[in-house]
Structure 1
């Protein structure tokens, strides 16, 4: 070995040394894997379509007539009932996800969402609409809990962070389609103006219920159920070009086995109390609940679900203008989210979260000032400035709190707590949404722009919390990231265990899988 050769001991290896160096589109197995991940990403599209559709239906006279011209309180119920359905389903979801698998949970959710969409489209009054929305939300809880877990547990290591970040970002892809569909149908002079957007809501769920059976199951779930051969086959096929002796495949396989083994030793039965049983788990729980509420209580809920009421406060009452601005806003949001998703492993989670929190505080405060000036003076320039600051506010919101809340929640949880921890996130998210959707229309009607001050104060708290408690997690495997909250030693133990199983080329001819006895030098 020449003095100039780069030498690493086995213990110094990083997963980056084991990755396929080719662009992913030149690897046919990764192209197929990413096709399945695209199918799973459509769950977020369906969620975004629903949120934007409800926002846009509120400006349609045809829909308001069918619903009996709902009051502010009734409007809150019509919007929030979906999240009440999600809230009722969340205690059940981890048992389906962990007991029967990620794919079964997605299929169950898709079937319920199709059923809810059918009843919603056929609704002739608000009571029928409310029941349909509850059913849709009940199914959505299964789909939105299982899909991001399966994406994170299937994705190629170097692509996991950008793809899981794209999951929540694609909420805006659904929002864009819903916004422009409603813009195109609102001129129809009958109830099909709102029934057509409702019918189209079921398309992603129809794809899920028919194609999910062709998608691979989570290797982590299979290993947890003792189906290790099936898990190794999936990892080898998609991550190792079919070679189950591939170094990356052996690394991932052994790391997953070791992580699940450690989790089981920590708690022979993993119950809900495990979430608060250790200091590391309590730190995880604190961050998970905070992210759920921050993602909805940053002021974004006002614009996402009640943009028409916000526009009313600055004198924009035209249906055409309101739907046009909303459509443009969704396109802008999607563009920012996708750029941020591509930067998660370069800029880092902490940098993006702090930049997002600080930017939101600045722009929402300016939005409040301009809204106040319009209300007091009637100055049209102040009203126009509100629109500009809505775009700037969402630009900073979309840097982190759309793309990162789901992947950050998933990656800080060990496998045994992943489904239950994500259920806590979904439950907290539903609580935050229900509060928003009940309180926001009533508070806006009563207080106008003064209600924005509540969010200004909350954003100050949010920035402080993220500054003190957000941990950087970039450029680590799923198991290593989860172990961070238990201390650096836990991360090192997992890495050493993962390397134990791999066999790499080396000059001495000695076996690398004897690393537990001694380190052997290899040429990289």
Structure 2
């Protein structure tokens, strides 16, 4: 997508004329910026690889033997322990992200993930494997909290929504590699059948440890720390062709300053309580927690982490068939996610969320019916239909709940609450995942297809909730979107302040004069 193409949607901002016209790939600096963002997007790849790898290891006899042929309860713990580690790290991640910067947090997370990968690969029993999974999850908390923030705060305005939506979508790129790697290694008649996929898990983290510190830091973080010159320099280099007086650059710079200034007036007196201090923040918190649980409790968690158990209920027990179907499913999911990511500004968040919720309800209900028919009659046609509805269910899930949960959460949070609010999202997500990964295998073993009815009922609640509480946020700047939950007047006031600062930078004591003072002081 080019900046010029997205400028049409930016008319609502009043800054369409400020955006660069023409294809982005003709701008060398946007090339460099998007290459840095591609590196940061690999965090989602690493997350997806890990999730899919655990799904696939469960079908390998070699892995089961090493783990002592785990029971349903033990299997749930082996899968959930990563998210227990993530949950343990979550309370401290915002302090690292806000205190030391987005890049430092990513590097810390990557180092811990490499350490976890090494221990996991060398594991000789289930206890060692669980310790490695905990360590990996602890590091993942830093990486997955900081990467999307840095991506959203660095992206060119007209490309931000598609790129940040692509972040979560690339979960499936990692899932694809893990699925097909396991499909290729399961024939190895020794422990390397599962150790090779474990080794490859560390590749993205190795790149992050090596390269992330060369990536530009968030201009918003720099400005919030009083480093206005450094923040403006990054905005100018990547968004304004190196010109710090470029009108778009000055608009972004002054809007960021105004938003941070307004946020601090509240944050100085309330801290964490800011999340519930105002009606707007309570609306944000309600939506953030809901999205975290919806993204895992829509039935997708059951299929994502225990697809082999779902296949067992419809008579598909061949390791070759199970791994092959899973590999094809991940490719299908990635394709749908990338298409949806490209249209988030055109279709709108609310439309995609409602379409996704309604589609999931329809297809998971049909999946439940066909699973029941197979259990009762043993019909092979009913079993085949279950596979078809799994694909259709994930097709609708991937319209919104993969590409949009992360960007929507980031968008609706003002800068001062962004790290803390995203921590709440990550904490809620980890709770939902732990439930999924520990309870699902036990419930599925006990109830079979009847357990699907629980998710059918939850999907009804989910659709109703999104209908009443999901607010459209398309075609707005990051600061304007965050202000939207405080009312349209807050958005208008913020925009007016930024425009006035561009028109009167020296008279208001802002803009270049402040930067010149800082540079002279240095």
**What TM-score results when the alignment is normalised by the length of structure 1?**
0.94
2:416 aligned partner = 416
2:460 aligned partner = 460
Q: Alpha-carbon deviations, 1:370-423, whole Å to 9, x = none?
A: 000000000000000000000000000000000000000000000000000000
1:169 aligned partner = 169
Q: Alpha-carbon deviations, 1:195-249, whole Å to 9, x = none?
A: 0000000000000001001100000000110000000000000000000000000
Alignment of 1:298-317 (within 5 A): 298-317=298-317
Q: Alpha-carbon deviations, 1:17-52, whole Å to 9, x = none?
A: 200002110000000000000000000000000000
Deviation at 1:12, TM superposition (A): 9.2
1:238 aligned partner = 238
1:288 aligned partner = 288
1:508 aligned partner = none
2:254 matches 1:254: yes
Does the CA contact (< 8 Å) of 1:502 and 1:513 recur in 2? no
**3-state SS of paired residue (2:474):** coil
CA distance in 2, matches of 1:176, 1:128: 26
1:133 aligned partner = 133
2:365 matches 1:365: yes
2:3 aligned partner = none
CA distance in 1, matches of 2:39, 2:432: 28
User: Structure 2 stretches of 5 or more lacking a match?
Assistant: 1-10, 510-522
Q: Alpha-carbon deviations, 1:71-114, whole Å to 9, x = none?
A: 00000000000000000000000000000000000000000000
CA distance in 2, matches of 1:217, 1:276: 29
User: Structure 1 stretches of 5 or more lacking a match?
Assistant: 1-10, 504-510, 517-524
CA distance in 2, matches of 1:42, 1:363: 31
CA distance in 1, matches of 2:394, 2:407: 20
1:6 aligned partner = none
2:190 aligned partner = 190
1:435 aligned partner = 435
1:18 aligned partner = 18
Deviation at 1:270, TM superposition (A): 5.2
Instruction: Give the direction of change, closer, same or farther, for the CA distance of 1:512–1:76 in structure 2 (3 Å limit).
Output: closer
Q: Alpha-carbon deviations, 1:302-357, whole Å to 9, x = none?
A: 11000000000000000000000000000000000000000100000000000000
1:67 aligned partner = 67
Q: Alpha-carbon deviations, 1:270-311, whole Å to 9, x = none?
A: 522110000000000000000000000000001100000000
**3-state SS of paired residue (2:343):** helix
Deviation at 1:267, TM superposition (A): 2.8
1:101 aligned partner = 101
**3-state SS of paired residue (2:85):** helix
